Chains A and B, each alone.
Chain A
Amino acid sequence: DAGVIQSPRHEVTEMGQEVTLRCKPISGHNSLFWYRQTMMRGLELLIYFNNNVPIDDSGMPEDRFSAKMPNASFSTLKIQPSEPRDSAVYFCASSSTGGGTEAFFGQGTRLTVV
């Protein structure tokens, strides 16, 4: 298995632009997590899905952020409009069902908003 695949690996965009980050979880995993990592705030859980359904989006910072999981093999995290304070590394992770299993992380997308 190729693991969790995220794209793009790096994204530089101008303030106000829409940004879409993509994630392909490990095949067979049905929980998917989006995290944001910054020096100041550490690792933050933004949202997580179970069987394509958003279970907890309390970590989404504001309405500019949205996430979808249209099927078991694909998820997107969208920021519209983007702001410089959104600059961070965004990680996607997936895990299998049954509760309590470990999460496998993708390589992350480093987002820079200028």
Chain B
Amino acid sequence: AQSVSQHNHHVILSEAASLELGCNYSYGGTVNLFWYVQYPGQHLQLLLKYFSGDPLVKGIKGFEAEFIKSKFSFNLRKPSVQWSDTAEYFCAVIGKTSYDKVIFGPGTSLSVIP
């Protein structure tokens, strides 16, 4: 079955702390991977994506993610979080064929304390 799991439901950090959000997926076939962010009261926005090539991808606002194929993982990292990073973060996967649909993880709520 196709699925995406995220390791943490809710993470609380102090400003300047380092962040790592875990994501694992189950999917038969090659995939593209995404991290989306949803700020309070807003819609989902793309944070970064991996299609191919260098497994370490950099996104907006200092975020990066590493694709480890052998572990079916795509963890999100940021060396130093800010209060403005408080949001819900969703990992997502989609197959590379035309009719595949995006599978979202359950989301991780990040609260950054000033």
Do A98 and B98 touch (CB < 8 A)? yes
Say whether A99 faces chain B, with CB atoms less than 8 Å apart: yes
Give Cα distance in the complex from A42 to B3, angstroms.
14
CB-CB nearest in chain A for B106: A42
Sorting the interface of chain B by its residue count into under 10, 10 to 19, 20 to 34 or 35 or more gives 20 to 34
* CB contact under 8 A between A99 and B95, given known A42-B107, A43-B104, A48-B101: yes
Q: Contacts A42-B106, A102-B34 given; indicate if A50 touches B99 (C-beta within 8 A).
A: yes
In the complex formed, the residue of B with least CB distance to A4 is B43
Q: How many A-B residue pairs have CB under 8 A?
A: 58
* Chain B residues numbered 76-105 whose CB sits less than 8 Å from any CB in chain A: 90, 94-104
Number of chain A interface residues as a range: 20 to 34
Judging by beta carbons under 8 Å apart, are B98 and A50 in contact?
yes
Shortest Cβ distance from residue B73 to the other chain A in the assembled complex, whole angstroms:
18
The answer to whether the Cβ of A97 comes within 8 Å of any Cβ in the partner chain is yes
Q: In the bound complex, how far is the Cα of B45 from the Cα of A28, in angstroms?
A: 19
Asked if A108 is at the interface (CB within 8 A of a chain B CB), the reply is yes
Q: With A100-B51, A102-B49 as given contacts, are A91 and B43 in contact (CB-CB < 8 Å)? A: yes
CB-nearest residue of chain A to B51 = A100
Binding site for B on A (CB under 8 A): 33, 42-43, 45, 48, 50, 55-56, 91, 93, 95, 97-108
Other than A42-B107, A43-B90, A50-B99, give 14 A-B pairs with Cβ distance below 8 A.
Answer: A33-B101, A93-B44, A93-B102, A99-B97, A99-B98, A100-B95, A100-B96, A100-B100, A102-B32, A102-B46, A103-B102, A105-B44, A105-B45, A107-B43
